[in-house]
Structure 1
Amino acid sequence: MSQLGWGEILIIAVVFVLLFGAKKLPDTARSFGRSLRIFKAETSKLRDDDDDLPAAQPSLEEQARRLEEQAARLRAGAQADKPAPPADRPAPPGN
């Protein structure tokens, strides 16, 4: 790409003045600068979010094993919480 010379810069400046007017040109430049700053901040946040990705998910087999372990612990806790049947009455069948 070729570099812009003084003549090309002058033509671009004249076109901007004609398009936006001399009074609104500073406000337009400020708005453009703010928009560019916000855009850069948001794109940097997107790049930072990519770095914060969680580690690989455990396999389905690993997840199933963990669930089975939790279920076994819950069953053991539920059995420990059940009151023992009175000594004079036998336990009901099926329990």
Structure 2
Amino acid sequence: MLRNGLEPWHLLVVAIMIILLFGSKKLPEAARGLGKSMRILKSEAKAMKEDGTAQSTAAQAAPEETTAAQPTAESNLVH
């Protein structure tokens, strides 16, 4: 019975229930709202990813500069 999970007729029943609940006039408006939300989510995720890579490259460059400026224990012993 549950071996195949979701069959095409299940999707048909769900689609009919959604049409009955929301009506045919509200569905295009809801689809537009969902599409707009998905676009905003994608752009925010892309911006966060770009910020993360910019911060990681800055973090990788910063320790190299600070370690070069600090004297090591061996240089203190030579003097």
| Number of residue pairs aligned between Structure 1 and Structure 2 | 60
Distance (Å, rounded) in 2 between the aligned partners of 1:12 and 1:36: 22
- Structure 1 runs not aligned, ≥5 long: 63-95
- Structure 2 runs not aligned, ≥5 long: 71-79
Could you tell me which amino acid in structure 2 is paired with residue 56 of structure 1?
A
* Identical counterparts, % of pairs: 37
For 1:48, what is the secondary structure of its paired residue? helix
Which of 56, 59, 70 is the aligned partner of 2:62?
56
Which of structure 1's runs of 4+ aligned residues deviate more than 3 A?
none
Greater relative contact order (Cα 8 A, min sep 6): structure 1 or 2? 2
Aligned alpha-carbon RMSD (Å): 2.1
Distance (Å, rounded) in 1 between the aligned partners of 2:29 and 2:5: 27
Could you tell me which amino acid in structure 1 is paired with residue 62 of structure 2?
A
Residue 33 of structure 2 is matched in structure 1 by: 31
Q: Whose helix proportion is higher, 1 or 2?
A: 2
Q: TM-score, normalised by structure 1?
A: 0.52
Q: Deviations over 1:58-84 (max 9, x none)?
A: 36x85xxxxxxxxxxxxxxxxxxxxxx
